Amino acid sequence: MPENNPSEGVSSGGLLIEVDELRDRRARSDYLILDLRAPEEYAHGHIPGAVNFPVGRILDPESERGELLPSETLAAHLGDAGVDGERPVVLYDDSGLVPSTRLFWVLSMLGFENARVLNGGFTAWCSSSHPTETTLNQPERRTFTVSSNPSVLASKSEVLSALENNEFAIVDARAPEEFAGRLPTAARDGHIPGAKNVNWENHILDLFNPTIRSLSELRAIYREQGVTPDKTVIVYCRSGSRSTHSYFVLRLLGYPKVRNYVGSWLEWGNDPDTPVEQ
């Protein structure tokens, strides 16, 4: 099996799906496929049968920091898109898989654990010469019932408590210049003390080919940083979006305790009382 195909040996229940498998299963309607791109991109061409669900629908438009909508509102939007908590869901985008991992994490937070991310996204689908369509598919509205899963969330107070606890590892998913405080993003810049910088882009071959790297490569990246499966891992970025990529990859590697600090640097760096390193 090619080295860049991580599906072999996945111990986390098949969280990733390859384009050929989706092509074969799509014909049997095994999955609800959600296209997370903008409506105009969806209208230009998408995977046959896919329903458009722009990932921005999970965000509160009134929030200054782009915070998530309340859980019940999220559930209503997902139900409108055909998510019912029973049928498996496949997520895809063309932005490095970040929109897909973001919705994957939101679904986990809402208690739904039957979602898969399309490896390589729409880019890989098109590169494989699989068919597309321009039909605007209208989903059958379903009822999505929330079953809260707070174990995938980390609050600022929990991050503060983890700073001196060896049972925790903190991962900063941002670019190195953000981690070092060379790129202004908040009132104060730098990183959470003790955090390990694993840029989310290291998970994929590159932004033009967002195929997830092999499990062996990914496992080595995190182990070299001392981020091991026995620890509770807290991931963060600037706004809690890119860090969902880290959340997903760590889940893919079988890490049992992974939390996303959704407030991330916009909360931490703008709080004058939180400790900062550069």
Active site residues: 237
Cα Dmax for the chain: 55
- Cα 163 to Cα 135, 154, 169, 199, 264: the distances in Å are 51, 13, 8, 20, 15
> What distance in Å separates the CA atoms of residue 143 and residue 162, rounded to the nearest whole number?
37
The total number of residues written for the chain in this structure: 278
Residue ranges in the chain assigned as alpha helix (H): 19-26, 39-44, 71-80, 98-109, 121-127, 156-162, 176-179, 215-224, 243-252, 264-268
- Cα 122 to Cα 46, 110, 197, 277: the distances in Å are 8, 25, 28, 38
The answer to whether the CB of 33 falls within 8 A of the CB of 49 is: yes
The answer to whether the CB of 69 falls within 8 A of the CB of 77 is: yes
Angle between helices 71-80 and 98-109 (to 10 degrees): 120
